[in-house]
Amino acid sequence: MVTPTSLPRDLPTDLVERFDLWASGIPYELGFWTHWAQTRGGGWPDEFAARMNPETPLVPWLAERATAAGLTHLRVLDVGAGPVTSIGYVPPPGMTIEIIATDPLADAYTRIFDAMGLRRPVATTFAPAEELSAYLPEESFDIVHCRNALDHSFDPIRGLTEMLRVVKMDGQIMLYHNANEAEGEGYSGFHQYNFDVEDERFIIWRGDKRWDVQTELPIRTWMRSRRRGHVAVLIEKRKPMPRERENRFRERFAENQRALMNLLIRRSLG
């Protein structure tokens, strides 16, 4: 039992700290999207109109990849999509499409948009990047897309590992992110990790810690990275993911639940 005066000595502090830092960004994120919805895009009215229009074509880079793969039916996952996906809805001629959009704040976005009577072409559903395979079938998507969201997660390597679980063999993960955003934002709220490209290698870093992503992933992949204003990364899945042991899944669930509970305790104690 946790006493009201102290936290357990063996508390996984790093995980609690990561949850705490991430959670501190929720008010800003919800405030931003509430204003975006109220003002119909604020300073970006064209983007609002495109996202809310079911006749918006699929974004070119995604459409080109699907066409090159010879797909007649495209199943795409947009991770960290916010309240409404930005990838478009209408595929190239001769192709059908199914879009799943996920975000850990999905339920809050639904309340915001429903209260305003705004109907989204594809409603975002709940799934954290770090636990996608707990909510979605493994090897079930042709393309997994993530724009300006993975660097906002509390464990981006784990998020990428889960993207590899839910994408099909020879499927592709497409990342498009601002470079080194956490550094520019002073490591506030969701901004805890920097994305960059060094010698054509995709690098995630924070302070004095650096991760060469290709060497951190559990399977061999083909990866292409470039930085031209933004960090763009294309990852192709070349080997099947090893099945995650059921007991490890249970262990991770227990770790997360304990960290979240102790975060609530910490906050209740001030």
Would 225 be classed as within a structural domain? no
Report, as an integer, the average pLDDT of 256-265.
Answer: 87
Q: Is residue 253 part of a domain?
A: no
pLDDT, residue 5, reads: 41
Q: Is residue 267 part of a domain?
A: no
What's the pLDDT tens digit per position in 33-47? 999 999 999 999 999
Question: In the predicted model, is pLDDT for residue 231 greater than 80?
Answer: yes
Judge whether 170 and 238 are in contact, CB under 8 Å: yes
Domain encompassing residue 75: 22-172+234-239
What percent of the chain shows pLDDT beyond 70?
Answer: 95
Residues 6 or more apart whose CB falls under 8 angstroms from that of 199 comprise none
**191 assigned to some structural domain:** no
Q: Higher model confidence: residue 153 or residue 270?
A: 153
Q: How many Å apart are CA 20 and CA 261, to the nearest integer? A: 11
Average pLDDT over residues 64-91: 97
Q: What is the CATH number of the domain that holds 38?
A: 3.40.50.150
Question: CA–CA distance from 224 to each of 135, 199, 233 (Å)?
Answer: 28, 11, 6
Instruction: Report if residue 248 sits inside a domain.
Output: no
- pLDDT at position 3: 38
Tell me how far apart the alpha carbons of residues 213 and 151 are, in angstroms, rounded to a whole number: 13
Inform me whether the pLDDT recorded for 235 exceeds 60: yes
145 lies in a domain?
yes
pLDDT value, residue 13: 59
Residue 81 burial class via C-beta count within 10 angstroms: exposed 0-12, middle 13-18, buried 19 and up: buried
Average pLDDT, the chain: 91
